[in-house]
């Protein structure tokens, strides 16, 4: 990269320093705009009030229960979707006929917006964890499935044929040839699914009213507790960032041995 | 010819079987929540008349397109600006990552405070939710522009606006398209959610009305319509993408075969 030349020599500002400047500037604007009357503070309370509301919330048991409910729905939904997605992906991907047969159906079902299922979820499960889980699973499943399908298609045919001529059993072929090749794709799918699952978990709670952070936001909005509402939204954002970070570092750690992470070995 | 027929048969077989299975299994279902498919299809024809389409589906789609286009323009413009300036990028990136991580639907209550519950609110919600994937992908795309291409363009005297339209945007194109594709599915979700919250017309509103009134076949027909809309929009997007990025597909195919 020639960025240094393009932008001229760096005169001030260490990257980390600049990285802190962004959020700090945002906080400052959010503090000053309502204080100076640029924005009605009933709509956007100053950042300090939001942080105070956040501190109050963090002291209540209800907040932690809601957070726990959201994380439970997220984790359960993601686990079910990942398990089902990997299983279906490996089975469909390794049988060419199945793959050809299901391609059109997958392409049709995948873009169906998961929120279309909200009314159905409400009728089936009411406002329980079940309706959140249903939406989370549906949305996250496709992310995993599609990536696993790509991964299985990426298997080197020569390696596969070699394993076959060494009389590897079907299971051994999957375990020692297919699975290592597909693994990075599986991780990509799970990483994508992890953020989608969080979005859907909170959406379901917000719209349906199943227990969790989303419902707390809806309640705060309905009772005009604007700073609390902002505080909870900040919490969801932080959760999203954390999940992203966790998924990314987890991927790098767990796949450190893999060629796609290690870099190509020159032969 | 036979190959084409074979492919068509493969593509249609499973949907046909599933459809037939649904039809057969639900034919004499007296479950309240899962009415027979024939009843759902009748309800589909009765519910989604032209009048209904004009009154409920069209406003939804118009809001969707308005929001999506606005987000695309804003996202690409800001993305190019941020991507080309390293210092700006260092300042903005953490904030942008945070905004992207906020689940877009929670913005509905916030934007309702500012913009009421009219069309403006819904369009703003869509813009606010869609803009982040477009913006971040554009930044990535602009950052990854080949340095040699940039230097070559510079030495040929391609500067200013021409540099952006002829060098930077085309090479960031595939990344931008990926961002737009993500944004499209977010836009559909937000279209429905914003109408479920507060609206007097629109697809999301109508489906929730059916569900609350226990008009189950009509609700199912709404879900099917929503699914169809999602499918058709993603199909249209893919066609547009393939046309706009024809050179890229060709390049990839050439690289793969070599």
Do the Cβ atoms of A221 and B222 come within 8 Å? no
Cβ(B111)–Cβ(B125) below 8 Å: yes
d(C-alpha A94, C-alpha A177), whole Å: 12
Percent over 70 (pLDDT), chain B? 98
A178: which DSSP letter? I
- Tell me what pLDDT residue B127 has: 92
So what's the pLDDT on residue A13?
61
* Region A44-53 average pLDDT: 82
Identify the CA nearest to B14 among candidates A98, A86, A144, A89: A98
Question: How many CA atoms within 13 Å lie on the side-chain side of B69?
Answer: 6
**pLDDT digits over A12-33, tens only?**
566 677 777 777 888 888 777 7
Rounded-to-integer distance, Cα B15 and Cα A11, Å? 62
Pick from B106, B83, B242, B101: nearest CA to A229: B106
Q: How far is B57 from chain A (nearest CA, A)?
A: 14
Instruction: Give yes or no for A98 touching B (CB within 8 A).
Output: no
Find tokens 């498919």 and name the residue: B37
- Report how far apart the first and last C-alpha atoms of chain B are (Å, whole number): 29
Distances (CA, A) of B58 to B33, B53, B174, B201: 28, 6, 30, 10
**Most A CBs within 10 Å: which of B91, B143, B236, as the mutation test of the A interface?**
B91
| Per-residue confidence band for B53, with pLDDT thresholds at 50, 70 and 90 | confident
C-alpha–C-alpha distance, residues A197 and A203, integer Å:
10
Cβ pair B83, B172 in contact under 8 A: yes
How many CB atoms within 10 Å of residue B83? Answer: 24
Identify whether the C-beta of residue B192 lies closer than 8 Å to the C-beta of residue B227: no
Name which of B98, B108, B114 is nearest A237 (Cβ-Cβ): B98
Nearest Cα to B172, choosing from B73, B76, B98?
B76
- Choose the closest CB to B14 out of A7, A105, A113: A105
Average pLDDT over residues A78-93: 92
| B72 confidence band (pLDDT: 50, 70, 90) | very high
Above 0.90 for ipTM, yes or no? Answer: no
Q: Please indicate whether, in this complex, the C-beta atoms of A239 and B192 are within 8 angstroms of each other.
A: no
User: Does the model's pTM come out above 0.95?
Assistant: no
Residue B68's pLDDT is: 93
Give which of B96, B106, B190 to mutate to test A binding, by max A Cβ within 10 Å: B106
Token output for A80: 């079910």
Concatenating the DSSP letter of every residue in chain B gives -HHHHHHHHHHHHHHHHHHHHHHHHHTT---SSS--HHHHHHHHHHHS-HHHIIIIIHHHHHHHHHHHHHHHHHHHHHHHHHHH-HHHHHHHHHHHHHHHHS-GGGHHHHHHHHHTTSHHHHHHHHHHHHHHHHHHHHHHHHHTS-HHHHHHHHHTT--THHIIIIIIHHHHHHHHHHHHHHHHHHHHHHHHHHHHHS-SSSHHHHHHHHHHTT-HHHHHHHHHHHHHHHHHHHHHHHHHHHHHTHHHHHHHHHHHH-
Rg (CA), chain B: 23
Find chain B residues with C-beta within 8 A of A118's C-beta. Answer: 192, 196, 208
pLDDT classification of B197: cutoffs 50, 70, 90: confident
Q: How many CB pairs under 8 A join A and B?
A: 165
User: Taking a C-beta distance cutoff of 8 angstroms, is the pair B88, B81 a contact?
Assistant: yes
What's the Rg (C-alpha) of chain A?
24
Is A8 a residue whose pLDDT tops 70?
no
Which comes out higher in pLDDT, residue B30 or A155?
Answer: A155
- Distance of residue B90 Cα from the nearest chain A Cα, in angstroms: 5
**DSSP calls for A45-101:** --HHHHHHHHHHHHTSHHHHHHHHHHHHHHHHHHHHHHHHHHHHHHHHHH-HHHHHH
Shortest CA gap A207–chain B (Å)? 7
């Amino acid at each position: 990269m020639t960025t240094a030349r393009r932008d001229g020599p760096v005169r001030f500002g260490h990257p980390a320093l600049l990285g802190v400047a962004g959020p700090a500037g945002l906080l400052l604007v959010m503090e000053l705009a309502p204080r100076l009357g640029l924005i009605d503070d009933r709509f956007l309370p100053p950042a300090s009030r939001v942080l105070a509301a956040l501190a109050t919330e963090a002291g209540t048991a209800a907040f932690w229960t809601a957070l726990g409910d959201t994380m439970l729905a997220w984790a359960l939904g993601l686990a079910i979707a990942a398990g089902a997605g990997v299983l279906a992906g490996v089975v469909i991907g390794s049988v060419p006929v199945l793959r050809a047969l299901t391609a059109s159906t997958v392409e049709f079902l995948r873009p169906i917006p998961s929120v279309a299922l909200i009314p159905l979820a409400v009728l089936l499960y009411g406002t329980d964890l079940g309706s959140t889980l249903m939406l989370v699973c549906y949305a996250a499943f496709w992310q995993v499935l599609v990536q696993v399908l790509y991964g299985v298609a990426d298997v080197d045919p020569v390696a596969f044929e070699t394993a076959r001529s060494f009389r590897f059993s079907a299971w051994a072929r999957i375990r020692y040839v297919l699975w290592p090749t597909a693994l990075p794709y599986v991780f990509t799918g799970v990483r994508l699914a992890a953020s989608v699952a969080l979005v859907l978990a909170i959406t379901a709670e917000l719209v349906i009213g199943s227990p969790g952070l989303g419902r707390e936001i809806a309640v705060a909005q309905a009772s005009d507790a604007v700073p609390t509402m902002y505080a909870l939204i900040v919490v969801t954002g932080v959760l999203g960032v954390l999940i992203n970070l966790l998924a990314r570092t987890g991927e790098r750690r767990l796949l450190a041995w893999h060629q796609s992470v290690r870099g190509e070995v020159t032969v | 010819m036979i190959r084409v027929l074979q492919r068509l048969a493969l593509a249609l077989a499973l949907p046909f079987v599933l459809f037939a299975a649904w039809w057969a299994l639900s034919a004499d279902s007296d479950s309240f929540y899962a009415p027979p498919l024939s009843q759902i299809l009748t309800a589909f024809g009765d519910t989604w008349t032209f009048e209904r389409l004009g009154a409920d589906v069209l406003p939804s789609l118009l809001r969707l397109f308005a929001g999506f286009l606005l987000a695309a323009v804003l996202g690409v413009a800001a993305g190019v600006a941020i991507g080309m300036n390293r210092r700006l990028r260092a300042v903005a990136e953490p904030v942008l990552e945070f905004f992207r991580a906020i689940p877009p639907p929670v913005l509905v209550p916030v934007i309702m405070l500012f913009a009421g519950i009219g069309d403006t609110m819904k369009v703003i919600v869509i813009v606010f939710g869609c803009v982040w994937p477009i913006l971040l992908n554009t930044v990535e795309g602009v950052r990854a522009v080949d340095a040699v291409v940039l230097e070559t363009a510079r030495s040929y005297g391609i500067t200013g606006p021409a540099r952006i339209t002829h060098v930077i945007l085309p090479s960031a194109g595939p990344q931008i398209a990926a961002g737009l594709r993500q944004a499209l599915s977010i836009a559909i979700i937000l279209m429905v959610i914003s109408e479920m919250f507060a609206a007097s017309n629109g697809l999301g509103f109508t489906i929730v009305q059916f569900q609350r009134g226990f008009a189950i076949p009509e609700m199912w027909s709404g879900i099917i319509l929503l699914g169809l809309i999602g499918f058709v929009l993603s199909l249209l997007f893919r066609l547009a993408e393939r046309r706009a990025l024809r050179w890229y597909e060709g390049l990839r195919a050439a690289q793969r075969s070599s």
